[in-house]
Structure 1
Amino acid sequence: MLNLRSPIVVHALIAITSFLVLSSVLFFLLYNTYELKNQHYYLAEKKSIEEEYGRNVRDDKLFPGGAHIIESYVIPHMLELEQQYHTNPKGFNELRQRLMDSIFAALKKANSVDSILEQASQKYQLRRDLSYALTFQVLNVNFRNSEKGITLFNIREQNPLIKSVPLMQDGALVGGTLQERNKQNQITNLTVSSGGDYTYTIVYSLHVDTANRKVAILRLMLPNLLLSLFSILAVVTIYFITFRNWQKQKKLSEMKSDFINSITHEFHTPLSAIFVANKSLRNERIIANQQNIPALTDVIQRQAERLKHLIGQVLNITTLGQIPLNAKPHSLHALLEEIMLDYRLKVAGSNIHLTFIKEATRDAAMVDQFWFTTLMLNMLDNGVKYNTQSEKLLTVKTTSDKKYCYISIADNGIGMNKETRERVFEKFYRSIKNNNQQIKGLGLGLYYAKQAADAHQWKINVQSTPGEGSMFIITIPL
């Protein structure tokens, strides 16, 4: 699960939120800039084209000759349209659509708006790639007396029989290819009518624009776009550098804390053994037997060397993040005998009973003696620390097969639930309480044990039931 209290997660959320806010503000500013340029874009050219177009169609409709084409179809059919309108509405509907289909076909064929735009381009030195759309919206006719405004064509009505031109949402497209038609690129929208009987009224529009208006405007905005992108990249880069430096400082701080914690945890066992051996050497009853003295001095020598080695090793694991091994062939039984001897001396006079069972028939393996000792001592300490029995029992047992030697460390402690078993090797993990008092320790013992096993490429498995103790099994290749 995502830990929302983690400093990294908090910083990430703040960074993402800030980035979204900054991006939204920049997008809003760019959008307003685009709308402003869109409103003023093509303003001078629009006036020039409007002037040239108006001069060419001043006494005409749509384009030069357009009025003659419309009248050549409408006027001869006026009486027939009037009769059908009064006597046969269905026939009138079909007649008007066929008539409009013929008108649109003739207008499309005779369309000369291209020539008008060419003239305007030459006259006003317009160098842009222009597209246009000439759309026809309405044609109404006036019959005799009060019968006025009878619709022959309206883009809002159904006209399924008209096939000669595309019927768009804003009108019948009788010329041009411009797809996006709006107020910004509208040159003219005219309603031309005449009074009297048997006359007509038409509504049409002309839109002219560059072939791709949006791309052209975005090109004009390119400096603004590049500056915005540069600003975002600069902010992201600065934040990334700052965040990376913060992580480095945080890592250095954690390394210092780890080093102190490691010393506190790892130095405890050899120091305890030295104190016990030294105390024994000062006991007249013990040193009366001269055979005890070499064994005790060996313990002091061995643990002093371990302390010396420990200083360098702990520094390595905290600065390098990994364990440097010096593995050599060893007898696991011989190493375990030494570890058991030192540990028995440490817990002498307590309620801790340590048993060593050697059932392995093969015990030779590549081992770093220092880290194997660290592993075993931490396993034994764990079995003692998390144990509330009046007699704390620890059993170390070896078995073997053709490929592996197995070392099991069993205790009669408080055991572990499923969650604890899954997290027991995590650094600083501590979840178990004893009589409502937090058990002393830093949560590093089993972490170091796992680190040592991983460095050897060994495996550690744990079997445990709450209230019934735990057993750790180390699998070592022979």
Structure 2
Amino acid sequence: MVVRNSPLLYKWVLVCSFLMLSVLIGVLVFNTYRYKDKNFQNYQKQAIEKAYGHYIMNDKLFPGGNGIFGTQLEPYLPELVRLHEQDKVAFGAKRDTVLSSFWQELRNGNSMDTVFSQIVAQEGLDSSLQYSLQFDRLELLLPADGQWFVLYPSGEAEWPVPIAGNLAAPTENNRVLKLSVNAGHEAVYRFSYSLYVDYPNRFARVLQDMLPVFSFSIACILLLVFINYLTYRNWVDQRKEAQLKTEFLNHIRHEFNTPITTILICANSLKEQHSQLQAADVSSMGQIVERQAERLKLYFKQILDSVTIQEQQAQLELVGISGLTEELLQDISLRYADQIAIRIDPLSAERHVWVDPSLYFSILDNLVSNALKFNHRHLPAVDFQWNQEGNRLQLLVEDNGIGIEEKDQKLVFDQFYRSNQAGKTSGLGLGLYYVKTCVSRMDWDIAVGSSKSGGTIFTITINLEERSS
């Protein structure tokens, strides 16, 4: 197998390139999402940070926070410093008690709901915004060594501590600010806390904001799939056409060589043995030459017809189609003599249609020829039957031949195509292609199927709507 001509290779190349580009687009979309998620609320963040800073300019966490720090935390810090130096066990118990009470008082005494509502109204922000105020860290300065000791977080304590708000999922992307504050007189301490603000449906909003990116990405992928499909189908068609042409050339070489060789042998025998040949022998050879010459003539006609039909325009006439069909089939039956039985069921009432009699004759002639050629029965037969459905006429052409396999039925009208069933039967694969082309020239349709008897049935459909010539 030649690698460059392998359909499997092309399929894998297309699939791999599609997957690689899809992954690349996926990475770009994901990075775009991360960027948009990170910068989704820049305007709101800046407005809230500025307004919040104004509200707590001389306070802690929220208006009134200084008082809670002054009564619930700062008075206990000197004792915590002393216990840390003298009694570690008592220090731990005292720390937990102080901080637990401190957190509770911050929650009970916070005014953030009011402050946040005022900020939203003042800045003209979306009323669906939610917030969360969280205490992050608390450290105490130890005078003995001048080092900072972490009071919170410690051990397995919850961290950070939620103070106010109902935002369910605080993240780095929706943090508005993080502040660190140093305070204290008798005992110096510092703490940090964060304010988070976001929409309850942030993910959906970010995706909605990215809708143009998603749409463009999907469009690119679909376009890539479509282009790859067209490219692959075009390559397959070209490869198939090249194979058909190669097979056709090999086949036509054989088909032309046989009659030519036969004629040459007969001519050579007549030339070299004419004195010994009897009249019967000469007559027999003459018949052989005549048959082979007719065969060559038919091949040349098929080739020329298939070439010229592409530029030939239909010469349409308004003719009674049933009578014309009977007339043409009568002429055809005379040519085939007793080789095939041709039967026709005419229309009950004549219908006039636009038709090119010459093209129509070629259609009928080729169908009868095929019915005879691909038939192994003792009495080959082909039946022509008319049906009318509304504004459509259908001519059913059914033979009792070898039939056409279902897998070949969609290909039999292709140029140079010959199914495996054709076997050693002579032909160039142009007959049904010519039939299909003639049918199309007159704006008719043709389809092929299998008959109940195992033969082939062609259905020619004619639209009876008025048309001009």
TM-score (norm 1): 0.53
Report SS of the residue matched to 2:60. coil
One-letter amino acid of the counterpart of residue 56, structure 1? Y
Q: Offset at 1:153? A: 0.5
Q: Which residue of 1 aligns with 2:178?
A: 189
Q: Which residue of 2 aligns with 1:327?
A: 375
| Distance across 1 between alignment mates of 2:282 and 2:134 | 115
- 259, 262, 273: which one pairs with 2:262? 273
Q: Which residue of 2 aligns with 1:261?
A: 250
Q: How many residues are aligned here? A: 333
Report SS of the residue matched to 1:188. strand
Q: Which residue of 2 aligns with 1:113?
A: 112
Structure 2 portions without partners, runs of 5+ = 311-365, 380-399, 405-415, 426-453, 455-469
One-letter amino acid of the counterpart of residue 199, structure 2? T
Q: Offset at 1:8? A: 9.6
Q: Offset at 1:192? A: 1.8
The correspondence of residues 310-325 of structure 1 with structure 2, limited to 5 A, is none
Q: Do residues 159 (structure 1) and 159 (structure 2) align?
A: no
Q: Which residue of 2 aligns with 1:179?
A: 169
| Distance across 2 between alignment mates of 1:227 and 1:287 | 87
The correspondence of residues 113-152 of structure 1 with structure 2, limited to 5 A, is 113-127=112-126, 129-142=128-141, 149-152=148-151
| Distance across 2 between alignment mates of 1:7 and 1:328 | 37
Q: Do residues 452 (structure 1) and 457 (structure 2) align?
A: no
Q: Do residues 3 (structure 1) and 3 (structure 2) align?
A: yes
Q: 1:221 to 1:302 in 2, by over 3 A?
A: same
Q: 1:316 to 1:74 in 2, by over 3 A?
A: farther
Report SS of the residue matched to 1:47. helix
Q: 1:133 to 1:4 in 2, by over 3 A?
A: farther
- 274, 289, 300: which one pairs with 2:289? 300
Report SS of the residue matched to 2:3. coil
Q: 1:175 to 1:287 in 2, by over 3 A?
A: farther
Structure 1 residues 123-173: Cα deviation after superposition (integer angstroms, max 9, x where no partner): 12112532333222211234666666332113xxx532x3xxx53xxx333
Q: Is the 8 A contact 2:78 2:186 kept in 1?
A: no
Q: Is the 8 A contact 1:56 1:63 kept in 2?
A: yes
Q: 1:448 to 1:186 in 2, by over 3 A?
A: closer
- Flag as ranges the 4+ runs of structure 1 deviating above 6 A: 30-36, 312-320
Structure 1 residues 37-59: Cα deviation after superposition (integer angstroms, max 9, x where no partner): 66765333323312332233333
One-letter amino acid of the counterpart of residue 59, structure 2? D
Q: 1:225 to 1:283 in 2, by over 3 A?
A: same
Q: 1:11 to 1:312 in 2, by over 3 A?
A: farther
Q: Offset at 1:202? A: 1.4
Structure 1 residues 216-269: Cα deviation after superposition (integer angstroms, max 9, x where no partner): 345445445545655665566567557656765665565555433321122222
| Distance across 1 between alignment mates of 2:265 and 2:375 | 30
Q: 1:39 to 1:265 in 2, by over 3 A?
A: same
CA RMSD of superposed structures (Å): 5.0
Q: 1:284 to 1:39 in 2, by over 3 A?
A: closer
The correspondence of residues 221-232 of structure 1 with structure 2, limited to 5 A, is 221-223=210-212, 225-227=214-216, 229-230=218-219
Q: Offset at 1:115? A: 2.5
| Distance across 2 between alignment mates of 1:173 and 1:2 | 70
The correspondence of residues 279-428 of structure 1 with structure 2, limited to 5 A, is 279-284=268-273, 287-308=276-297, 326-330=374-378
Q: Is the 8 A contact 2:139 2:149 kept in 1?
A: yes
Q: Offset at 1:450? A: 4.2
Report SS of the residue matched to 1:329. coil
Q: 1:78 to 1:316 in 2, by over 3 A?
A: farther
Q: Is the 8 A contact 1:142 1:200 kept in 2?
A: yes
Q: Is the 8 A contact 1:57 1:64 kept in 2?
A: yes
| Distance across 2 between alignment mates of 1:22 and 1:125 | 41
One-letter amino acid of the counterpart of residue 155, structure 2? N
Q: Is the 8 A contact 1:84 1:92 kept in 2?
A: yes
Q: Offset at 1:193? A: 2.0
| Distance across 2 between alignment mates of 1:137 and 1:175 | 13
| Distance across 2 between alignment mates of 1:297 and 1:264 | 24
| Distance across 1 between alignment mates of 2:211 and 2:161 | 36
Report SS of the residue matched to 1:275. helix
Structure 1 residues 19-38: Cα deviation after superposition (integer angstroms, max 9, x where no partner): 9569948975x778767766
Deviates more, 1:42-51 or 1:68-77: 68-77
Q: 1:33 to 1:78 in 2, by over 3 A?
A: closer
Q: 1:138 to 1:316 in 2, by over 3 A?
A: farther
Structure 1 portions without partners, runs of 5+ = 332-365, 372-443, 456-476
Q: 1:148 to 1:309 in 2, by over 3 A?
A: same
Structure 1 residues 285-343: Cα deviation after superposition (integer angstroms, max 9, x where no partner): 685344534543443344445445556789999999xx976314149xxxxxxxxxxxx
Q: Is the 8 A contact 1:128 1:210 kept in 2?
A: no
Q: Offset at 1:83? A: 5.1
| Distance across 2 between alignment mates of 1:8 and 1:238 | 18
Q: Offset at 1:7? A: 8.8
Q: Is the 8 A contact 1:145 1:197 kept in 2?
A: no
* Percent pairwise identity: 27
| Distance across 2 between alignment mates of 1:236 and 1:367 | 43
Report SS of the residue matched to 1:116. helix
Structure 1 residues 152-209: Cα deviation after superposition (integer angstroms, max 9, x where no partner): 113xxx532x3xxx53xxx333344253532x64332222222433343211111223
One-letter amino acid of the counterpart of residue 46, structure 2? K
One-letter amino acid of the counterpart of residue 116, structure 1? V
